[in-house]
Structure 1
Amino acid sequence: MNNMSVPGKQTSYVIGCSFVAALGGLLFGFDTAVISGTLADLKSVFMLSNASLGFTVAIALVGTIVGAIVFGKPSDIYGRRFVLFVLAICYLISALGSALAWGWYSFLFFRFLGGLAVGGASVVSPMYIAEIAPAKMRGRLVALTQFNIVLGILLAFLSNYGIAIFDMSVTNWRWMFAVEAIPSFLFFLLLFKVPRSPRWLIAKQRVDEAYVVLSKLCKDEHEIQHEMNAVKASLDVKHHSAKEPFFEREYAIPIFLAIAIASFNQLSGINAILYYAPSIFEMAGAGQDTALLQSVAVGVVNLIFTMLAMLVIDLIGRRSLMLIGSVGYLISLSAIAASFYYYNQMFTRTGGLIVLVSIFLFIAAHAFGQGAVIWVFISEIFPNRIRARGQALGSFTHWFMAALISWIFPVIAAQSGGSAFAFFAVMMFLQLLWVIFIMPETKGIPLEQIQKKLHIK
């Protein structure tokens, strides 16, 4: 027993390892938002049309779709930590390559590579954390990835604003991408300090190594044996259900729910607004530097309301958060659309203020509703035997819709900003109806009872 960790040390070690893995989420958020401050320069430097600019933004999202699909199997073969190392290298190369790009095609390649890393991180980082965390801490620690995504978005906005203030003229956009190399390299170095996933080690019959890792993660011998037995049982169940058909009538309800919530997530316009926030503020009459500063405020609001949602999601339930978020979406998107229609690109100070406040409300509604609920909800509605494939379907739907909407948004917005936001508002009205009449509540219900509620045997 003398090799057992002191409880306080064990807790600190688990939190530390989870924080390192969650840096994949921070880079996910940073990479997602950093391009927002570079759009005007990219359009000028590479002489892009609105459609080409939309594709330039969307290419990273195409990478996320591919990354979410391709990095799952290597993580089973080579291990979660190994794949996290690969992702850190991809982030680093993408950051430096995007900053040093010698033409549009090279820039697209490096942004696609960054997208691969984002897609992989969205799968592997939370999976690794879930596999090293004790059951009693698992929910909060996995949620650390979502928190870091939002933090990464804020840091990207702050970085873009800081670089714009220093004003390095034509090289501003290059520095904005280059900054990401710093957390990428830090992520790579810190991964040497974290252990391999004990679940993966047991799956590879490396039980002694798994025991050593668990001795650092668990408080006593009883907990170690309990975790090892639980992992072995889980692996055995998974092995015997590997050929379980997925697209079966029995699973029609959870499949529909996963596709619906993931689609509505992007039909709100969230990624388009995060990517194009400075451009939207400029369309509403703000100067370039002011627009970047307002984007920083967007990141702060996102972070605050994400933390609030994490505190109450298990108290007031998933549907309540979605209802509140849907109403917030409707009010904010309708106000933005009306402002663009009314002012018709000739914004007064009042009009610009309406857009600013409405976008803050929109971000708060998203962070408190969809942003907090989507991945929790998808993980709860599928039975154990198909949960991984269900989450992959939700992730694929999310990223596919994100790529599509981010590609077409600048084209529509250039013709009529009001029309783009009016479309998002209509979609959120449909989401509100979906939440009221279709979405089930899963708070506090055992997974087996959720399956019965969804008519799954």
Structure 2
Amino acid sequence: MESEQGAAAPKRGKVIGVTIAAALGGLLFGFDTAVINGANEAIREEFSLDPAVLGFVVAVTLLGCAAGAWFAGQLADLWGRKKVMVLAAILFVASSLGAGLAFAAWDLMIWRFIGGLAIGTASVIAPAYIAEVAPARMRGALGSLQQLAITSGIFLALLSDAFLADSAGSAMDQFWLGLPAWRWMLLVGVIPAAVYGGLSLGIPESPQYLLRVGRVDEARRVIVNVIGSRNPDARIKDIQDSFEREDKSSFRELRGPMLGLQPILWVGMAVAALQQLVGINAIFYYSNTLWQSVGFSEKDSFTTSVITAIINVALTFVAIFFVDKVGRTKLLLIGSVGMFLGLLAAAISFSQASGSGDNISLPAPWGAVALVGANVFVIFFAATWGPVMWVVLGEIFPNRIRSMALGLTAMVNWIFNFIVTLLFPILSAAVGLGYVYGGFALFAALSFWFVKTAMPDVSGRELEDKGKLIKA
């Protein structure tokens, strides 16, 4: 195997450029999942929805995400990474137009489901592509750009929501062309989707895919011109050997001795599930509704949500800086402790709430404690579990099953995202926010135990290194 010392310095500008282009799928991932936040209350009023139906309108995207994630890995092996990125961009455009012009709740659900297909596809293809073009010593930082793009997308969505609501007067008030502001919140997603599609056409194909389909000369050019290898033939041999005589991946490759699956798949699925079970998206999908329910005005709720999104973006740089220096496992453990403390503070605060329905209030000083606790949680999530999970999923699977394994684990991530998103408003009304946030804190504690006992650290190893895999 070509050693790290024997490798040429990567073409830093090129590899960063193609990584950013691929990671723009993450920006759309964040934008399209979070943009509904500012429109929630307006959609509820527009279509006269009860909490359960509103929860499904928000969460149906995540069913599409699960389906898109499942099929993306298979399509990536059949068509190549680039073509799947372009498909995702087309779906993003269609979803933004359809959702923004929806005439009924069921129509809105269909278009949000289509948007979910695009998001799920992007959530698989970006980390797979980045892991395959990034040199080992830069892979953690470059893989973290996916999460930076996601958090930037969330921030841009909440910022545009706040701008449109403030410019129109409220999310329900008319804005450009006589359409209410909440519709423009959904329509503006067309712009980043078109940019993503254009950039996807200009990046090189992954060398792993090119070698899988026999395009050796093209793979060599990518390895030399993007990755910067001094010995591209050795790297090509490493990749080809890693396929282990398999012409293409198939579902049978995922089978193993642990309840029918390979042990590494269970680790990936557990990490993917825990990232959602700590409740991060309860904050980003429902934060405006949440803060209004405990006494914030609509304007203050938008402002608070934007500040939280800024924190989310800023702290992602911490992960980019430390993920290759500190290691994946240590960052996840630190994150679990910080998330637990923040969620515990929020749970205790919300347990002090009085009133019910839309008339909940938090007595002093518990409103401030809840706000601080929620943002402490976001700080530790953004610096650790948010980006590091995608880095880990992009690199722990062997080459021959990476696309399909990523599809499976991303699907699990989206299914648990769906469950949390759907149940959050229902459980909040039924048992109260204190118990809901207490449950999130429990999963943060479980995430610490899981990482400590079962999570391998794969920092700094080439994708072809079998030593990183968990032994059965």
**Same structural fold, with TM-score higher than 0.5 when normalized by the shorter chain:** yes
CA distance in 2, matches of 1:252, 1:212: 34
Report the counterpart of residue 55 of structure 1 in structure 2.
Answer: 56
Alignment partner of 2:389 out of 351, 363, 374: 374
Tell me by how many angstroms 1:136 deviates: 4.3
1:183/1:80 CA distance change after superposition, 3 Å: same
Q: How does 1:108-123 map to 2 (within 5 A)?
A: 108-123=109-124
What is the correspondence of 1:191-202 to structure 2 with a 5 Å cutoff?
A: 191-202=200-211
Residues 242-272 of structure 1 deviation map (CA, whole Å, 9 limit, x = unaligned): 5445232496643443333222211111112
TM-score, normalising length from structure 1? Answer: 0.89
State the match for 2:152 in structure 1: 151
How far did residue 14 of structure 1 move?
2.5
Structure 1 spans left out of the alignment, 5+ residues? 1-6
Give, in angstroms, the shift of residue 385 of structure 1. 5.3
Residues 196, 179 of structure 1: CA spacing in aligned structure 2 closer, same or farther, 3 A cutoff? Answer: same
Q: Mean Cα displacement is larger for which, 80-89 or 348-357?
A: 348-357
Partner of 1:432: 448
Aligned counterpart, 1:399: 414
The residue number in structure 2 matching 1:266 is 276
Distance in structure 2 (CA, Å) of the matches to 1:209 and 1:260: 36
Q: Cα deviations across residues 275-310 of structure 1 (Å, max 9, x unaligned)?
A: 111111112211111111111111111112221122
1:95 corresponds to 2:96: yes
The answer to whether structure 1 residue 128 and structure 2 residue 136 are counterparts is: no
**Residues 1:362 and 1:178: Cα distance change in structure 2 (over 3 Å):** same
Identity rate, percent? 35
Cα RMSD (Å): 2.7
| Native 8 Å contact 2:267 2:455 kept in 1 | no
Query: What is the alpha-carbon distance in structure 2 between the residues aligned to residue 206 and residue 336 of structure 1?
Result: 54
Q: Using a 3 Å threshold, how does the CA distance of structure 1 residues 356 and 245 change in structure 2: closer, same or farther?
A: closer
- In the alignment, structure 2 segments of 5+ residues that lack a partner are 1-7, 175-179, 355-359
Aligned to 1:178: 187
Shift of 1:101: 0.9
Residue of structure 1 in register with 2:240 after alignment = 232
The alpha carbon displacement at 1:384 in A equals: 5.1
Would you say how many aligned residue pairs link Structure 1 and Structure 2?
A: 446
Q: Does 1:314 align with 2:324?
A: yes
Distance in 1 between residues matched to 2:132 and 2:397, nearest whole Å: 19
Q: 1:55 to 1:213 in 2, by over 3 A?
A: same
Bigger helix fraction: 1
CA distance in 2, matches of 1:262, 1:197: 24
Residue aligning to 1:353: 368
Q: Is the 8 A contact 1:246 1:386 kept in 2?
A: no
State the alpha-carbon separation in 1 of the partners of residues 404 and 61 from structure 2. 23
Which letter maps to 2:54? L
Task: Tell me if the contact between 2:70 and 2:404 (Cα under 8 Å) persists in the aligned partners.
Answer: no
- Per-residue deviation, 1:40: 0.2
Q: Which amino acid aligns with 1:117?
A: A
2:343 corresponds to: 333
**In 1, distance between residues paired with 2:44 and 2:64?**
21
* More displaced stretch, 142-151 vs 115-124: 142-151
Among candidates 415, 418, 422, match of residue 434 of structure 2? 418
- The one-letter amino acid of 1:147's match is L
Q: Distance in 1 between matches of 2:25 and 2:182?
A: 23
Does the CA-based 8 Å contact 1:319-1:435 persist in structure 2? yes
Q: 1:430 to 1:144 in 2, by over 3 A?
A: closer
1:352: how far off? 2.5
Against the structure 1 CA distance between its residues 248 and 154, is the aligned structure 2 distance closer, same or farther, given a 3 Å change threshold? same
Deviates more, 1:416-425 or 1:44-53: 416-425
> Offset of 1:13 from its aligned partner?
2.6
Distance 1:160 1:445, change over 3 A: closer
What displacement does 1:44 show? 0.7
- Whether the 8 Å contact between 2:70 and 2:407 is mirrored in structure 1 is yes
Confirm or deny: 8 A CA contact 1:286 1:352 kept in the other structure: no
2:393 and 2:18 map into 1 onto residues whose CA distance is 25
Partner Cα separation in structure 1 for residue 327 and residue 418 of structure 2:
30
Equivalent residue, structure 2, for 1:189: 198
Distance 1:228 1:427, change over 3 A: closer
Over residues 13-53 of structure 1, what are the superposed CA-to-partner deviations in whole Å (9 max), with x where a residue is unaligned?
A: 33222211111111111111111111100111111111101
Q: For residues 282-297 of structure 1, what are the structure 2 equivalents within 5 Å?
A: 282-297=292-307
Residues 8 and 444 (structure 1), Cα distance of their counterparts in 2 relative to 1, 3 Å cut: closer
Give the residue type in structure 2 aligned to 1:83. V
Instruction: State the SS of the aligned residue for 1:177.
Output: helix
- Who is 1:3 aligned against? none
Shift of 1:326: 2.2
1:397 Cα shift? 1.7
DSSP 3-state at the match of 1:54: helix
Letter in 2 for 1:239: D
Partner of 2:357: none
